[in-house]
Structure 1
Amino acid sequence: MTVFDNAPAPLGEYYRILTAGIDAYADGEELLPILDAKLDFEGPIAGRLAGAARFLVGVRGFIANVKSISPIHLVADSGHAATLYDAELPGGTVRFSEFFVIQDGSIRELRIQYDPADYTAKGGR
């Protein structure tokens, strides 16, 4: 059991997909139903992106390289969530924090924080 086991439904599914591997990810078809079509995303490398389709392309690189995710903390209510976790990449561990807005059972907003230099140095793309 991890802290993600008590996450709102879309988040539990989101983290399951992130760790299922690139072969399971394929074109992101499984992730798409839990993302709002107008997803508002912001991250240190991609910057700000609008739309779930653009996010699906970017997250593919993470999924291709992540070996595991070790959840540390989750805070959630009915419409917001924040997570802290360590992601094991080919070159070592990188710490991530993610902040979500959840509306109508889907992820509407996602803000990710991590050290982009550390991420790329450890094999992230």
Structure 2
Amino acid sequence: MTVVSDNAPAVIQDYYRVLTGGIDGYEDGRHLLPLLADDLDFEGSIAGRVTGAARFAEGVRGFIANVTGIDLIQEVHDSQGTATVYDAHLPKGAVRITEFFGFADGRIQRLRLQYDPADYIAKGGR
């Protein structure tokens, strides 16, 4: 499934392939971890602030298990980062999510997710 355009950096294209690839193919995050800096700086509406690629890879497992599709609304890219806005389709409906990425050495160094956590949980997110 293609989520972002061909204009997106390769690391972002690969990131969304993992997110939409289903939980059976996710295994232990072996396809996600190479995309992330070891000391990834993550901040999300439910998890709060988390440091480390391994912690993020474990936390995103629930999203991957429940998302049935992503409809991209907007994407913006430059040499320092990417921003995306999309609707994530969960078992009980769609949730609007915004992601802000920062890069270092071709990997995702910083990631900020913004969404309504109550809506996310109500629609089957975990």
- Shorter-chain TM-score category? over 0.9
The 5 A counterparts of 1:38-49 are: 38-49=39-50
Provide the C-alpha distance between the structure 2 equivalents of 1:105 and 1:93, rounded to a whole number of angstroms: 31
- Structure-2 residue corresponding to 1:69: 70
Q: Higher helix proportion, which one?
A: 1
The 5 A counterparts of 1:39-118 are: 39-118=40-119
Q: TM-score, normalised by structure 1?
A: 0.97
% of aligned pairs identical?
A: 63
Provide the C-alpha distance between the structure 1 equivalents of 2:5 and 2:123, rounded to a whole number of angstroms: 24
- Structure-1 residue corresponding to 2:33: 32
3-state SS of 1:11 partner: helix
- Structure-1 residue corresponding to 2:123: 122
Provide the C-alpha distance between the structure 2 equivalents of 1:25 and 1:9, rounded to a whole number of angstroms: 19
- Structure-1 residue corresponding to 2:5: 4
3-state SS of 1:4 partner: coil
Provide the C-alpha distance between the structure 1 equivalents of 2:70 and 2:20, rounded to a whole number of angstroms: 7
Provide the C-alpha distance between the structure 1 equivalents of 2:3 and 2:19, rounded to a whole number of angstroms: 15
Contact 2:102 2:109 in 1 (8 A): yes
Q: TM-score, normalised by structure 2?
A: 0.96
